Structure 1
Amino acid sequence: MEIREEVFGEVNGQDVKIFTLKNSSGMELSCINYGCTITKVLVPDQAGNFENVVLGFDSIEEYIHHSPFFGCVVGRVAGRIANSQFELDGITYDLPNNEGVNHLHGGDHGFDKVLWDGKIEKGTDEVKVIFTHKSTDGTAGYPGNVTVSITYTLNNDNEFNISYHATTDKKTLINLTNHSYFNLSGELKRDILDHELTLKSDHFLKLSDSLLPTGELVAVDQTAFDFRKGRKLIDGVQSDHQQNQLVGGGYDHPLVLSANREDEICLVDQQSGRKLTVETDEPTVVLYTSNMMGNDFEIRGVPARKHIGVCLETQHHPDAIHHPSFPSIVLDENEEYRTSTTYRFSVM
C-alpha cells in the first residue's frame, strides 16, 4: 500500500493538496482537499490496462471555473431545497438560491468549495485520507456549528470506501454525498449510454418541473426506471416517459433502494469488462446521466458533452425537510451523523 501528498495548486494564497492512494494490485485513487474532490481512479480493464474511470481535471483553476461538481462532497445538504427555505422548531431559515428560486448542493459556498484539512494514515492492508472541516453557525444560512469528517479508504481488494461523520451544537440539516461521475470505458473513450446498470429499487421519486420530489413514490414496473434485472442507460434517453423527458433525456432521479449492503448497485461496461459495485447504508441513490452537461470546456482534452458520465449519489431523499414521509435529514445536538458507501471495482 502506498500514499503520498503533494501540492496540486493554490486557492486564495493557500496550497491545495493532492493525495494519491495506491494498493498492491495497482489500483490508484487521487483526491484533493478542495471539496474532498476525487480527481482520478485508475483501475484495470479485462486486458489488464489501467485507465481513469472518473471525470476530473488536472488543475485547480479548471475545478473553480468549469466543474459541475466533479468528484466532490456536496453539503451541507445534497440536492435541491425548495424555495431556498426551511423551518426548524418554528424558526424559518433562508438559504442562498443558486438554481432559480431553489438551493442546490449547499449553495455557491457549499462543502465542494471548502479547503478541507487532510491527514493521511497508512496501514498494512489499507491507506486512508481523513478530511475535516468546521462549518460555522449561519454558513449559507444553515444553523449550528457543524464539525464534519470525511474518510477515504482504499484497500487491497480494490475497494474504496467513503465514510461520513458530523456533529452539531444546534439542530440543523445534514445530507452528504459524493458527486463523482463514472465512465468505465476508461479515459472517456465512449459515453456511458451502453453502460448497463443493475439496481435493487422498486420505486423512484417523481419530480416536479423544478426537478424537486413531489413526494410521490412511483413503481418502476414497465418503465425505464426498472433496473432490477439490469438495463442500459440509453433506455432512459430513448424513453418517452414524461419523467425521462423532463430531465433532458435520461435520468436525474432519486431511486429508493430496496436493499443495503447487498451488491445493490452494479454498473458494467461490457466492452472494457469493468464492473463497479456500490454498497451503502443510505436509503436512496440519485442517478444522473449528465443530461445537462455543457459543452464549453474540455475534460483532459476530451470535449464535455451530454451523457459522458454517470453519477450514483448515495444519500437521503432530496428536499426531505419538506416531506415528513421521507427519512429525516435533521441532526440534533445530541446526535451523530454517520453513513458510508463502498465502491468495489472488478472485471467480468
Structure 2
Amino acid sequence: MTTTPPDQPAPGVHRRVFGHMPDGRAVEAVTLANAHGISTTVIAYGATLQSVIVPDREGVAADVTLGYATLEAYLAQSQYLGSSIGRVANRIAGGRFVLDGTEYYVPCNNGPNALHGGPGGFDKALWEVTGVSSAPHPAVTLAHTSPDGDEGFPGTLRVTATYALDDAGNLAITYRAETDRPTIVNLTNHAYWNLAGEGAASGAVDHVLTIPADHFLPTDETAIPTGAFAEVTATPFDFREPTVIGARVRDASHPQIRIGTGYDHNWVVARERSAVPRLVARLEHAASGRSLEVLSTEPGVQFYSGNFLDGSSIGKAGQCYRMGDGIALEPQMFPDTPNQPAFGSIRLEPGEIYTHRLVFALRGG
C-alpha cells in the first residue's frame, strides 16, 4: 500500500502551518510545486524534507520519501527522516575532536560515538522560514543559528538551507554556514527514498543502485572508519555498474556487511570537494519507471540501506517502516574527518562561507 497523494498543487509556493512545538511555536510547511506533477514539502522542524511526490510512467503520483504525517511523530522519533544534519554529519569517534590544541566533546548518542551532531543536532531545531520565491523556480530558504558551545561545538554558527525545485524535477538544496570562531562543519540531508512509493510492500531493496566510486571506507565494529580506502572490486560494495540493492545486502560472507547489518558505509567518489555538483549516486525503480540522481559538491556519499528501521514507527501511508523500506544516500565529507587527517578537513574559519550544493534529480516514468 502506498499513500494516495492529495491533488497536486498549482505550480508555485504554498505555505501552511504543519503543527506546533510543545512551547506553542508554529512549525511551517512550505510546498514547492512545478508544472509537471512533482512537488516537495519542507517543514521548518529540522529543515526537513517531509514529502516528495513524483508521477510514474502512467502519470500516477506517489510520495517517494519516508516521513511522518504529523509533527508529533517527528518529535517522538529520532530517525532523521529527511532532516538537515549538522553541525557534523555522520560519526565522530568518542564524540571527541581537537581544534587548535583544545579538546572538544560532543555528547555520544550512537554507542560510544557522536552521530549527526549529537542528540540535539540541527534535525531537532526549529528553523525559521526567512524567504520564499516563485521565480525563477519555487524556492524556500530556512535559517538556524547554533550558539557557541551548542552540543559542544565552538563558535556561533549561522546556517541557511535553500530548497529550489525546477520544471525538470531537480530539487536543489544549498547549505551555507558562517562562524565567528574556528569550528567544524559537515552538513547534509538525510532523506530516505522508496521510488515505489513510501509504504510500498516491496520496500526499496529491489531498486537498482549505481555509485561511481572505486573505493569505500571500511569501519570498525562501532561504524567508525578504520582509515583505509578499500577497493570495491570483487566485493559487495562494487556499485560501479547498476546493481540491485537486495542482491548483496545480506551477504554475510563479507565482514563489513556483518558489521553494518547491511550497508551503512561511505563511498569515496573523489578525494576533494568540487566547485559544482557531480554525480555521486543513481537510483532506479523499474516497475514505476522513476529514477533519482544524487549530485553533490562533496567527495563522499553515505549509503544506508535502512537496516535499523524496525517497525516501531508509522509512516505517512499508515504502514510500519521495516528494514529496507527506504534507503538513504547522504553526500558529505568523510565520517570522523576531524580525527583522521588523511580524510581532509571540515574546518571553517571566520570570514569563510561553507557551502554544500546538493541536487536530487527526480524523474518520473
Q: State the TM-score, normalizing by the size of structure 2.
A: 0.92
Distance in 1 between residues matched to 2:67 and 2:321, nearest whole Å: 11
Partner residue of 2:13 out of 3, 20, 23:
3
Aligned residues: CA RMSD: 1.3
Distance in 1 between residues matched to 2:335 and 2:198, nearest whole Å: 31
Distance in 1 between residues matched to 2:86 and 2:213, nearest whole Å: 25
Partner residue of 1:244 out of 220, 240, 257:
257
Distance in 2 between residues matched to 1:238 and 1:82, nearest whole Å: 26
What's the CA shift for 1:66? 2.1
Tell me: CA distance 1:294–1:199, structure 2 relative to 1, closer, same or farther (3 Å).
Answer: same
Name the structure 2 match of 1:171. Answer: 182
What's the CA shift for 1:253? 0.3
Name the structure 2 match of 1:291. Answer: 307
Amino acid corresponding to residue 254 of structure 1 in structure 2 = N
Name the structure 2 match of 1:277. Answer: 293
Question: Which ranges of 4 or more aligned residues in structure 1 deviate by more than 6 Å?
Answer: none
SS at match of 2:138: strand
What's the CA shift for 1:83? 0.8
SS at match of 2:226: strand
Distance in 2 between residues matched to 1:57 and 1:27, nearest whole Å: 19
SS at match of 2:32: strand
What's the CA shift for 1:197? 0.5
Distance in 1 between residues matched to 2:195 and 2:344, nearest whole Å: 32
Name the structure 2 match of 1:308. Answer: 325
Q: Which runs of 5+ in 2 are unaligned?
A: 1-10
Distance in 1 between residues matched to 2:314 and 2:184, nearest whole Å: 35
- Superposed CA deviations along residues 111-161 of structure 1, whole A, max 9, x for unmatched, are 001001113432344011101111110011100011111100111111100
What's the CA shift for 1:188? 2.4
Contact between 1:192 and 1:308, CA under 8 Å: does it hold in 2? Answer: yes
Q: How does 1:228-239 map to 2 (within 5 A)?
A: 228-239=240-251
Amino acid corresponding to residue 214 of structure 1 in structure 2 = T
- Superposed CA deviations along residues 292-314 of structure 1, whole A, max 9, x for unmatched, are 11222211211121001000000
Q: Which moved more, 1:152-161 or 1:253-262?
A: 253-262
What's the CA shift for 1:98? 1.1
Q: How does 1:185-334 map to 2 (within 5 A)?
A: 185-189=196-200, 190-239=202-251, 240-248=253-261, 250-258=262-270, 261-300=277-316, 301-334=318-351
What's the CA shift for 1:335? 1.6
Name the structure 2 match of 1:100. Answer: 111
Contact between 1:202 and 1:258, CA under 8 Å: does it hold in 2? Answer: no
Distance in 2 between residues matched to 1:10 and 1:153, nearest whole Å: 25
Contact between 1:200 and 1:258, CA under 8 Å: does it hold in 2? Answer: no
Contact between 2:31 and 2:42, CA under 8 Å: does it hold in 1? Answer: yes
Contact between 1:120 and 1:127, CA under 8 Å: does it hold in 2? Answer: no
Amino acid corresponding to residue 297 of structure 2 in structure 1 = D
Identity over aligned residues, as a percent?
Answer: 37
Distance in 2 between residues matched to 1:229 and 1:39, nearest whole Å: 31
Distance in 1 between residues matched to 2:119 and 2:280, nearest whole Å: 32
Name the structure 2 match of 1:129. Answer: 140
User: Paired residues, what number?
Assistant: 347
Q: Which runs of 5+ in 1 are unaligned?
A: none
SS at match of 2:247: helix
Name the structure 2 match of 1:42. Answer: 53
Q: State the TM-score, normalizing by the size of structure 1.
A: 0.97
Q: Which moved more, 1:41-50 or 1:254-263?
A: 254-263
SS at match of 1:215: coil
What's the CA shift for 1:333? 1.2
Distance in 2 between residues matched to 1:117 and 1:262, nearest whole Å: 29
- Superposed CA deviations along residues 199-239 of structure 1, whole A, max 9, x for unmatched, are 11000001000100111110000111111111111133232
SS at match of 2:227: strand
Distance in 1 between residues matched to 2:76 and 2:354, nearest whole Å: 31
